[in-house]
């Protein structure tokens, strides 16, 4: 490939933030026409920053960019679009109350004037060419995440993008949707377009890409032809040393297992009256990790919040089994309780919510103050005691290797992985009997993710009932003892993590059936 002219040639690209954090350092990268390049790297390795410079969102401190052999200065997203570069971000930038077509033409200044009909026709052509499934007249708020993503991609193609950059496009998709996306990407490649996909999921890299470029700590460390490499080799390159890619699933003795949380016929409506959980029943045991799989928004959030006493419930019950062996069985009802009442009953229920800085932690407060978020009431004094929390913060920083200047740094300034370590560290330090976690490794790099899996496994070994809401099916299948699959607020089945496979779970996520039928 070296003799071909690259579509993009980046040389010596350097970008610093706030004059201190080096996001990219002297990166050289070539991207060729008609290929799918996977840009691989851990969190904070500078993948997104590098691509943001290509799409005009950031401007490099040093280095040059050539597009099709010509030296270019890309100083705004508009200039990037004019050069045929389009980027699909992790967070979609669509106007909810507009239709797909309106969103696609939004901000375009077509010489022919504003003609929505003609635009819709052109959109259909684009869709037919590559196999997209988009209704130009559908409103964005009526769309699934996957459909919104499709609109974003069509938007870029409609604007004449020849070089398409996708930032972790599969994070929000089911396996089936991912397959569909990949099929479309392959069509685009075969049509001569250039596709860059940013990811840290190795099996996807192997599946979709022609070539892999690896970044580590902002620096370019090398590239490989996908067919000539393995997941292990890529990981080693990404992390910089040998790592084991197996997630452990230790077996806990069966007589150690007893019922802990019993959810019966739980139905929850949100503020708008939409049913988010529909007659959900299951039991979580001590010493097990119960995985919860499902497309995002299938009721995972409501389920965990209902157990934690944060979500008003329409009907049903959540029982906490204090002691299953005593007669009569000692049971506490958690429905109708708030977090304080639950704690007062002696139930130590830890909760790692999905929204780390919007719910689990206070971003503007430092580590010490965040450590006491759930325990600041302890004691009779009207004043807060910061000694114990400070000690705990130092312990968490030490044991979980949190990268922070000090325990008096506001947590908002930490990177995503370190924020999560602080949150998980605090919740585990409470010595819980039930541990609820939502997307515990979302956005974390390989090292941090494995640390979290390890912590969860240790809790399981201590006899904690762990409920793990996850989005990466490969992880769910390797980590969890049992997997409950939610689909549209209903339980479509509970399967054994040791015997099920990705396809079965994937199908259960999209339609009812599977396990029970």
Partner 1 sequence: MIHISKRKELPLGQALAIRLGAIVLALVVCGAITTLFTGLNPISVYGAMINGAFGSQRKIWILLQETAILLCVSLALTPAFRMKFWNLGGEGQILIGGLASAACMILFGNTLPNGVVILLEIVCAIAAGAIWAFIPAFFKARWNTNETLFTLMMNYVATQIVAYFIIVWEVPKGSGQIGIINQSTEVGWLPQIGTYKYLLNIVLVALLTVLMYTYLNYSKHGYEISVVGESANTARYAGIKVDRVIMRTLLLSGAICGFAGLLLVGGTNHTITTTISGGRGFTAVMVAWLAKFNPAVMTASSLLLVFMGRGAGEISTTYGLNQSFGDILTGIILFFIIGVEFFITYRVRFEKKEKEATND
Residues that bind partner 1 (CB under 8 A): 17-20, 59, 70-73, 75, 308, 310, 338-340, 343, 351, 353, 355, 358-365, 369, 372-374, 376-377, 382-384
In the bound state with partner 1, the residue whose beta carbon lies nearer, of 117 and 387, is: 387
Shortest separation between residue 308's beta carbon and partner 1, angstroms: 8
| Tokens matching residue 500 | 């099920």
Q: Please name which of 276, 324, 332, 285 lies closest in space to residue 304, comparing C-alpha atoms.
A: 276
In the bound state with partner 1, the residue whose beta carbon lies nearer, of 251 and 383, is: 383
Shortest separation between residue 236's beta carbon and partner 1, angstroms: 33
Shortest separation between residue 306's beta carbon and partner 1, angstroms: 13
In the bound state with partner 1, the residue whose beta carbon lies nearer, of 76 and 503, is: 76
| 268 close to 254: Cβ distance less than 8 angstroms | no
Shortest separation between residue 440's beta carbon and partner 1, angstroms: 16
Query: What SS3 state is found at 170?
Result: helix
Query: What SS3 state is found at 278?
Result: strand
Shortest separation between residue 355's beta carbon and partner 1, angstroms: 7
Shortest separation between residue 300's beta carbon and partner 1, angstroms: 16
C-alpha dihedral (114, 118, 119, 123), degrees to nearest 10: 180
Around Cβ 346, how many Cβ atoms within 10 Å? 10
Q: How far apart are CA 481 and CA 325, in angstroms?
A: 23
Spatial CB neighbours of 323, under 8 Å, sequence gap ≥ 6? 329, 330
In the bound state with partner 1, the residue whose beta carbon lies nearer, of 63 and 513, is: 63
Q: What is the DSSP string of 94-144?
A: --TTSBHHHHHHTT---TT---HHHHHHHHHHHHHHHT----TTSBGGGS-
Spatial CB neighbours of 339, under 8 Å, sequence gap ≥ 6? 308, 309, 310, 349, 374
Backbone dihedral angles phi then psi of residue 137, each to the nearest 5 degrees: -95, 5
Q: How far apart are CA 337 and CA 490, in angstroms?
A: 23
Shortest separation between residue 417's beta carbon and partner 1, angstroms: 19
Q: How far apart are CA 449 and CA 437, in angstroms?
A: 13
In the bound state with partner 1, the residue whose beta carbon lies nearer, of 79 and 478, is: 79
Shortest separation between residue 24's beta carbon and partner 1, angstroms: 14
Shortest separation between residue 294's beta carbon and partner 1, angstroms: 22
In the bound state with partner 1, the residue whose beta carbon lies nearer, of 231 and 340, is: 340
In the bound state with partner 1, the residue whose beta carbon lies nearer, of 206 and 310, is: 310
| Tokens matching residue 297 | 């928004």
Q: Please name which of 250, 284, 263, 294 lies closest in space to residue 470, comparing C-alpha atoms.
A: 294
Q: How far apart are CA 28 and CA 12, in angstroms?
A: 6
Largest CA distance in the chain: 81
In the bound state with partner 1, the residue whose beta carbon lies nearer, of 299 and 514, is: 299
Shortest separation between residue 172's beta carbon and partner 1, angstroms: 21
In the bound state with partner 1, the residue whose beta carbon lies nearer, of 245 and 340, is: 340
In the bound state with partner 1, the residue whose beta carbon lies nearer, of 166 and 342, is: 342
Backbone dihedral angles phi then psi of residue 315, each to the nearest 5 degrees: -155, 165
């Amino acid at each position: 490939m070296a003799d071909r002219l690259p579509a993009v040639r980046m040389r010596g690209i350097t970008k610093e933030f706030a004059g201190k954090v080096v996001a990219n350092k002297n990166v050289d990268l070539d991207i060729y026409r008609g290929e799918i390049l996977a840009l691989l790297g851990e969190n904070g390795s500078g993948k997104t920053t590098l691509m943001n410079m290509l799409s005009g969102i950031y401007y490099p401190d040093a280095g040059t960019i050539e597009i099709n052999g010509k030296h270019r200065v890309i100083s705004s997203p508009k200039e990037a679009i004019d050069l045929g570069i389009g980027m699909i971000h992790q967070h979609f930038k669509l106007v909810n109350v507009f239709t797909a077509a309106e969103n696609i033409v939004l901000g375009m200044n077509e010489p022919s004037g504003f003609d929505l009909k003609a635009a819709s026709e052109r959109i259909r052509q684009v869709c037919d060419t590559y196999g997209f499934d988009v209704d130009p007249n559908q409103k964005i708020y009526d769309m699934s995440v996957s459909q919104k993503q499709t609109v974003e991609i069509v938007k870029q193609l409609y604007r004449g993008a020849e070089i398409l950059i996708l930032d972790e496009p599969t994070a929000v998709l089911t396996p089936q949707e991912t397959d569909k996306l990949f099929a479309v990407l392959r069509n685009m490649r075969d049509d001569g377009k250039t596709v860059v996909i940013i990811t840290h999921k190795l099996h996807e890299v192997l599946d979709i890409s022609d070539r892999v470029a690896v970044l580590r700590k902002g620096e370019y460390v090398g590239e490989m032809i996908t067919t000539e490499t393995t997941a292990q080799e890529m990981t080693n390159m990404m992390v910089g040393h040998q790592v084991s890619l197996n997630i452990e699933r230790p077996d806990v003795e069966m007589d150690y297992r007893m019922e802990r949380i019993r959810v019966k016929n739980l139905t929850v409506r949100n503020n708008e009256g939409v049913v988010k959980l529909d007659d959900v029943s299951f039991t979580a045991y001590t010493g097990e990790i119960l995985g919860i799989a499902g497309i995002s928004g299938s009721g995972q959030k409501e389920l965990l919040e209902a157990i934690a006493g944060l979500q008003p419930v329409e009907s049903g019950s959540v029982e906490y089994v204090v002691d299953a062996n005593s007669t009569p069985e000692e049971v506490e009802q958690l429905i109708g309780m708030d977090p304080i009442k639950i704690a007062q009953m002696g139930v130590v229920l830890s909760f790692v919510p999905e929204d780390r800085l919007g719910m689990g932690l206070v971003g503007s407060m430092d580590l010490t103050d965040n450590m006491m978020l759930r325990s600041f009431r302890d004691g009779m004094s009207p004043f807060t005691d910061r000694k114990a929390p400070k000690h705990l913060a130092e312990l968490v920083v030490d044991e979980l290797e949190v990268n922070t200047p000090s325990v008096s740094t506001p947590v908002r300034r930490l990177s995503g992985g370190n924020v999560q370590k602080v949150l998980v560290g605090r919740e585990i330090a409470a010595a819980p009997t039930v541990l609820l976690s939502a997307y515990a490794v979302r956005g974390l790099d390989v090292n941090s993710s494995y640390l979290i899996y390890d912590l969860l496994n240790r809790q399981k070994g201590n006899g904690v009932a762990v409920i793990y809401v996850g989005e990466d099916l490969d992880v769910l299948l390797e980590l969890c003892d049992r997997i409950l699959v939610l689909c549209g607020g209903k339980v479509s089945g509970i399967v054994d993590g040791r015997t099920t496979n990705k396809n079965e779970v994937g199908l259960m996520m999209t339609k009812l059936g599977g396990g029970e039928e």
